[in-house]
Chain A
Amino acid sequence: MLDLIWLLPTFPLLGFLILALAEGKLAKGPAGWIGAGSIGLSFAVAALVAVSFLQSGLESHTVPIWTWMSVAGFDPGINLYLDGLSLVMILVITGVGFLIHVYSTGYMADDPDFSRFFCYMNLFVFAMLLLVLGDNLLLLYLGWEGVGLCSYLLIGFWYDDPYNGYAARKAFVVTRVGDTAMAIGLFLLFAQLGTLNIQDMLHAAEAEWAVGSALPAITALLLLGGAVGKSAQLPLQTWLPDAMAGPTPISALIHAATMVTAGVYLIARTHTLFELAPNVQLLVAWVGLITLLMAGFTAMTQNDIKRILAYSTVSQIGYMFLGLGVGAWSGAIFHLMTHAFFKALLFLGAGAVILSLHHEQDIFRMGAKRKQLPVGFLCFLIGGLALTAFPYTSGYFSKDEILIAALEVEGQGLWLWLGGVIGAFFTGIYTFRLFFVVFFGESRGHHDAKEVKGLNIALPLFILMALSLFGGWIPVPLDAVFSHGAEHEEHHISAFMHGVMIALPLFGIAISYLFYGSGILSAEKLMSLPGSRALHRFWNSGWGMDRLYDFLFVNPFLYLARVNAKDIIDAFYDMLAALSRAGHLLIVRTQTGYLRWYVLSMAAGLVALIAVGVLL
């Protein structure tokens, strides 16, 4: 049964090939069935594999498919590796992926490029599955780049608008910066340890490298570079908000549930390496913390429904990084899973809202939509509660696990915990700001909004609602994977601390209610305070990071490219050519065409020669 995991990526690959080779000539019906069906089949296989894996009690299982290449001791295989971690990942990818595919058959129904959409989507799932199933870092890298490519293609899916193309390129290039760091990390790992097979590499690292020495720190840093690129963490987080230019299901699948969490997966997968480099691990925690706070601030100032969710994604992945950094490996992965549920729900709900409002995305042109859009309202209520870690929703359990683990870090634990809790407070504010503005108050436009009908849109939403509410009770089989890392004794923290953790997000919701739900407090008044407008602008622009990078990297590059479009080196050869031409012109001038000039010069030359001969 377990050997069937090769079928997992095969179905999406087949779907991709069929849709690609049909060149868009397939009718929407069959295209949708193929596109969503392939993922459905994958999910069925994943479920079967999960059952038999859990029953077998194995720690891991490798399915070799073929040897990719074998050069001078470098022999990465196309081998699939299944353990608790990849099991969780494949279930999330195929499960949530399947729901989003089904939803897309409704959401994209009117799009002329329907089958191209599913073509890319299937390719994405294929690459994502390879990413989490690859038993070596090169295969992981293949999936890693593959999902990046699909992300690019899908962000720029509506290619008519140059802005979408810009967003797509930005996403690809910024993540590529991280990928390059990761590639260098692979070179270093291979040079030092002689293998890229993840398990062998980790064992070798444990055996050969001392805790806290330089090499594990450098490699962990380089891998972290890849992770922050893909997972939109500081300092490479700028691409994700722009990536919202793509169709909304893409935002749900790629930029919330699966691809952006690949960085979390990578670090969890190579956690041994990070344990060997405690400083880098701590850095991971701080990266996560700072990112989650910064993104939290920005999310509070956005007006675009999808951008709010995008910043919230950045912020939630920040929690996952915080979890990784404090050694709560399974907590981070757990949060990855629950986040996939509720963020997919929120995005798909946002998609339903956007579709109902004729592609309106500005929340301040919505308002009072809870009657007209009851399903959307329910999505945002449940998704929002899970996102703010309302007790006993899925987000509560996972966030709790991370924050408690943060508190236990020696030295800086309290700070990390405090930051995380404050972030949760912000989460409450921005989530319910969105919620109250869209669904309460007075209608500020689109009074005729009608809920989109269709089972293929509603059903995934309801399933995701259930998962968001109760997903926290799903047991994740991660103990074997992280056994030597995480301690298993019950965490004991004081009731006061626990109370704070529960209360702060609720407090955030309350503040949101005061400002946007009831109108007791007014955001306009707050904005009229001195300096608040500038601060708003600063946060709204994502802490000016885009402008900073434009100034530091993009503009100098463009400038250099512009001034040197003609290739300065060519000037050297042009100069050579000009010189020889000048010499040529000089000699040509002696050729006057007057016979007497030739005779005279001949005679003069002769005389000179004789004179030289005589004198010497």
Chain B
Amino acid sequence: MMGAIPVEHGLILAGILFSLGLIGVLTRRNIVFVLMSLEVMLNACGLAFIVAGSRWEQADGQIMFVLILTLAAAEVAVGLGLIIQMYRRFQTVDINVLSELKG
């Protein structure tokens, strides 16, 4: 055990990262940045898993982080692909313009 970082600190950092990501998702208009903010949020979740895993000395947290990593990678791949398609069709990456699903 290295000089123990308290669990709370790790969780607070994860919380701050998650909030930053959320704020990014909410405020950014460029969909690329929205996607990046989403990545931040995912990583925040991952951090929380790691912290929890080390607190309970269980491998589950790290397994979940690996899962999240692959998920994030897949998401980025699909998301970027969609964004390219969207840009081709609508000539913009502004999500405010892209509100086709309005009821």
Contact = CB atoms under 8 A, between A and B. Distances in A.
A589 B103 CA distance: 6
Contact of B95 (A589, A591, A594, A600): A594
A592 B99 CA distance: 7
Most interface-central of A587, A590, A603 (chain B CB within 10 A): A603
Interface in A576-609: 587-596, 599-600, 603
A596 B95 contact: yes
Most interface-central of A587, A589, A596 (chain B CB within 10 A): A596
A600 B103 contact: no
B22 A588 contact: no
A100 to B, nearest CB: 78
A411 B95 CA distance: 104
B34 A595 contact: yes
B85 interface: no
8 pairs of A and B residues whose beta carbons are closest in the complex: A593-B99, A591-B103, A593-B102, A588-B103, A593-B101, A596-B26, A595-B95, A599-B25
Nearest to A589: B103
B93 to A, nearest CB: 12
B58 interface: no
Nearest to B29: A596
Interface of B: 22, 25-27, 34, 95-96, 99-103
Nearest to B38: A599
Most interface-central of A591, A593, A603 (chain B CB within 10 A): A593
B95 A599 contact: no
Interface in A453-481: none
Given A588-B103, A589-B103, A594 B22 contact: no
A600 B34 CA distance: 13
Contacts of B22: 599, 603
A590 B103 contact: yes
Interface of A: 587-596, 599-600, 603
Contacts of A589: 103
A594 B103 contact: no
A592 B25 contact: no
Contact of B102 (A592, A596, A599, A600): A592
Instruction: Tell me whether chain B's interface is mostly helix, strand or loop, or mixed.
Output: loop
A593 B100 contact: yes
Contacts of A587: 103
Most interface-central of B25, B102, B103 (chain A CB within 10 A): B103
Contacts of B27: 596
Contacts of B103: 587-593
Nearest to B99: A593
Contacts of B101: 591, 593
B60 to A, nearest CB: 22
B42 to A, nearest CB: 14
A592 B100 CA distance: 9
A378 B103 CA distance: 91
A600 B22 CA distance: 9
Nearest to A594: B99
Given A588-B103, A589-B103, A594 B25 contact: no
29 contacts: A587-B103, A588-B103, A589-B103, A590-B103, A591-B101, A591-B102, A592-B99, A592-B102, A592-B103, A593-B99, A593-B100, A593-B101, A593-B102, A593-B103, A594-B95, A594-B96, A594-B99, A595-B25, A595-B34, A595-B95, A596-B25, A596-B26, A596-B27, A596-B95, A599-B22, A599-B25, A599-B26, A600-B26, A603-B22
Nearest to A596: B26
A297 B12 CA distance: 111
A590 B102 CA distance: 9
A595 B34 CA distance: 10
A522 B100 CA distance: 95
Contacts of A596: 25-27, 95
A56 to B, nearest CB: 93
Contacts of B26: 596, 599-600
A528 to B, nearest CB: 83
Given A593-B101, A594-B96, 14 more contacts: A588-B103, A589-B103, A590-B103, A591-B101, A591-B102, A591-B103, A593-B103, A594-B95, A595-B34, A595-B95, A596-B25, A596-B26, A596-B95, A599-B25
Contacts of B25: 595-596, 599
B11 to A, nearest CB: 14
Nearest to A595: B95
Nearest to B28: A596
A68 to B, nearest CB: 67
Contacts of A594: 95-96, 99
A415 B32 CA distance: 111
Most interface-central of A588, A595, A599, A603 (chain B CB within 10 A): A595
Contacts of A591: 101-103
Nearest to A590: B103
B100 to A, nearest CB: 6
A603 B23 CA distance: 11
A596 B25 CA distance: 7
Contacts of B102: 591-593
A586 to B, nearest CB: 11
A595 B22 CA distance: 12
A582 to B, nearest CB: 14
A595 B101 CA distance: 10
Contacts of A600: 26
Nearest to A585: B103
Contacts of B95: 594-596
A105 B99 CA distance: 86
A158 to B, nearest CB: 65
Contacts of A588: 103
Contacts of A603: 22
Nearest to B25: A599
Contacts of B34: 595
Nearest to B102: A593
B83 to A, nearest CB: 13
B75 to A, nearest CB: 15
Contacts of A599: 22, 25-26
Contacts of B99: 592-594
Contacts of A593: 99-103
